[in-house]
A and B are shown apart, each in its own frame.
Chain A
Amino acid sequence: MTEDCDGEEKDEETRRWSPGQGSSSRGGGSGAAASSPLKTRCVRGRVDQAPPFSGQVLENVLENVLQFLACRRDRNAASLVCRSWYRAEARTRLELFIGNCYAVSPARALGRFRCARALVLKGRPRFADFNLVPVGWGARFSPWVAAMAAAYPWLERVCLKRMTVSDADLALLARSFSSFRDLTLICCDGFGTPGLAAVAELCRNLRVLDLIDNDVEDEDEEVVDWISRFPETATRLESLSFECVNCPVNFAALEALVARSPSLRRLRVNQHVSVGQLRCLMVRTPQLTHLGTGSFETVPAADGAAELDVAELESSFVASKSLVCLSGFRMVAPEYLPAIYPVCTGLVSLNLSYAVTTAEQLKPVVLQCHNLQTFWVLDTVGDEGLRAVAKTCKHLRELRVFPFEATEDSESAVSDAGLMAISEGCQKLRSILYFCQRMTNAAVVTMSKNCQELVVFRLCIMGRHRPDHITGEPMDEGFGAIVMNCKKLTRLAVSGLLTDKVFEYIAKHGKLVRTLSVAFAGNSDLSLRYVLEGCHKLQKLEIRDSPFGDAGLLSGIHHYYNMRFLWMNSCKLSLRGCKEVAQRLPRLVVEVFGDHNKDLDSDAVEKLYLYRSLVGPRDDVPSFVKIL
């Protein structure tokens, strides 16, 4: 008993002196003190039992060292050394990253990591963004926020991606954590303005409220003026992004909010804010670093009779000397675009992917953006626009070219010529996402040779099964060159006419590839076998509409425990094959689903989603999902 008390005191002292721990007196994770029910399950027997005194001193020292370890992969490695390290690491992990919300239960995760201040949680598989996962599949935030409300009173940050978050969840979040400061929601759904109002009103220390690409649902009658709910006193807001909130906001309240937020550095407004209103906001916050401009056009109802003079708008940009990141431009009126010239040389990131601009309109802007590192644009600028980018943006690291008309047989103004130009001009490129209709192996090969820093290569030839438009060959050689020459590549998305050959290349050379997206590709199970046997670092594999069957699926049995997930839809899988995988890998959750009116006798599997899990089949399975 005495030993334990001594141990605990020492623990306390260490805690008081170590930065970042705060003054929480919850005590160490020693088994003697609290009798919380969360402590019961653990992987390696009674890990939480207090070690002898000398061991505990060592652990305290270790904690002081480990707290500096930020990278979660390093932390995972450290936790495997021995029990002592496991405990020390668990106590010092501040950010909890859970890549698949169903891989672990809230109880288990929160039980191991008692002192986390931040949670990053991802739910649905990425193909849900493209309507391939039926509504109601799962990934609800409710069980997590309920568990955290009890276990983490000092929680500060939450970042959710592809989760379903209800207004009630947001209200509970706002009420439960007095130090809460950062909320980031990406591609989530299930909430509306009432939830936002709760967050605004109750999170007194809120610094970041970033809403990115969420589906914010509001019945017209229920829209709440959430902007007005922020406290009347000066706020600590540093970042406010609500581009995806589709209803108009109370502008007077927004302007007042911005005026009383001296720390505000990032502001991204929605398209209901007109360019005239934007100017008012910019006048209030000349110290912004990140600006999302809203519509960037005159909205007569909003601006009254007077139309904003371009010179006036330009002067606002002149005054915003710190701007490094610009986005928005949702309905950009071309005559206003020149107003941003004064900030172009300082821009590091520019997102024009919602702005329908031509090459002629783009050139004067981009030719001044010498320091641009991230550029998102619509394909309406054409190969000519991309040539201008290649000419000026020598430090470009990330390029995304989105299609204006996202259909299979649309006309796209960008092609292999644009890709070639970019590869020649932007040799520091690390990440590219390129939508087009016409591509050649030659252009892709050239990019593979010029852009050796490529980490992410995603090429989407929108017409399915399209070959090289000059030679008529499959696109195998192009993608093959990418995996061969870009030695740092970790993420790859393929498209166009592809045979088994390209997967042979990927397996042979893509040794660092962690994420692979495949659509309408390959000839046979060989493709899947190559990838599963050759890509040792593969974590996430998503496949659609490709002729891969059970044989291919079974060839990955040795690897599925090392992966976060495998998704396959509209392939040639059967129940038999999927059941066999489920049988042979008990810690894998194998979900099979498809249409609501699924014929249970049919052996063909329309959609498969399998993932490793520490807690077995989830208990919130909807009717259209069958766990094998």
Chain B
Amino acid sequence: MEAAASSVKDGGDLRDTELRLGLPGTEAPEKPAAPSTRGSKRALQEDDDMESRANSRPLEADSGEAPAAKAQIVGWPPIRSYRRNSFPPRKVESEAEAEAEAEAAGLYVKVSMDGAPYLRKIDLKVYKGYKELREAMDNMFKCFTQGEVSRKEGCSSGSESAITYEDKDGDLMLVGDVPWEMFISSCRRLRIMKGCEVRGLRTRQYS
């Protein structure tokens, strides 16, 4: 949590001191340039016309037009098209936008614990790996585990629990099987299972 707070703060500070010529308060969109046109020169030419008309007076653009001026300028930076086409842009524009949004928002998923009266939400982006995640979740639900022990009958001490998650296909999976990055991208919600159900799960797993 702390890590999350400080990173946001740093990002904000950097933005404040960044040297830009736009008026304060205008944020240039962080879009990468559109993929360079390949193929027939005729297509390039049409782009040429439109772009140059749009960008002919960049210095006169007022704050309202600042985002437009930041759009792709014809022939800038000055790289020959042969070289430019050798390295296709890393992200297609729409994907990049979605990624940018996701980055800004954080990856919040619901965490439920069996028997707890209410759920929690955590930001998966904040953790570097499974160990940290487990520790955080233990902390979060600490207040509930003590009560659990007495209520559940026929089970061993309340420390028996497993963290499971629901992936994007809707299946219930055990946390810890896949690499962290893959887990983050597919996890939709987390569930801490307790007691008998867990044993059942474990049995199934090792049978």
Contacts and interface: CB of A to CB of B under 8 A. Distances in A.
Contacts of B75: 127, 130-132, 544
B80 A435 contact: no
A436 to B, nearest CB: 10
Contacts of B77: 403, 406-408, 435, 460, 462
A457 to B, nearest CB: 15
Contacts of A570: 52, 55-58
A466 B30 CA distance: 16
Contact of B89 (A135, A405, A435): A405
A409 B49 CA distance: 23
Interface residues on B, range: 35 or more
A519 B41 contact: no
A370 interface: no
A213 B32 CA distance: 26
Given A135-B41, A405-B32, A547-B59, A597 B76 contact: no
B79 A131 contact: no
Interface in A96-142: 127, 129-132, 134-135
Given A131-B48, A469-B19, A213 B87 contact: no
Interface residues of A, number: 48
B45 interface: yes
B84 interface: yes
Interface in A216-249: 244
Contacts of A134: 45, 48-49
B74 interface: yes
B155 interface: no
Nearest to B90: A405
Contacts of A519: 76, 78
Contact of B79 (A130, A187, A330): A130
Contacts of B57: 570
A571 to B, nearest CB: 9
Interface string A443-459: 00000000000000000
B181 to A, nearest CB: 20
A544 B55 CA distance: 11
B88 to A, nearest CB: 10
A464 interface: yes
23 contacts: A129-B80, A131-B48, A131-B81, A189-B41, A213-B82, A244-B82, A402-B79, A403-B79, A404-B87, A406-B79, A407-B33, A407-B77, A408-B70, A435-B77, A435-B79, A460-B77, A460-B78, A464-B73, A497-B21, A545-B59, A570-B56, A594-B52, A595-B53
Interface of B: 19, 21, 28, 30, 32-33, 41-42, 44-45, 47-49, 52-53, 55-59, 70, 72-84, 86-87, 89-90
The 7 A-B pairs with the shortest beta carbon distances in the complex, nearest first, are A130-B75, A407-B33, A595-B49, A462-B77, A406-B79, A570-B56, A129-B80
Given A407-B77, A435-B77, A547-B59, 6 more contacts: A134-B48, A354-B83, A407-B33, A407-B89, A545-B73, A596-B49
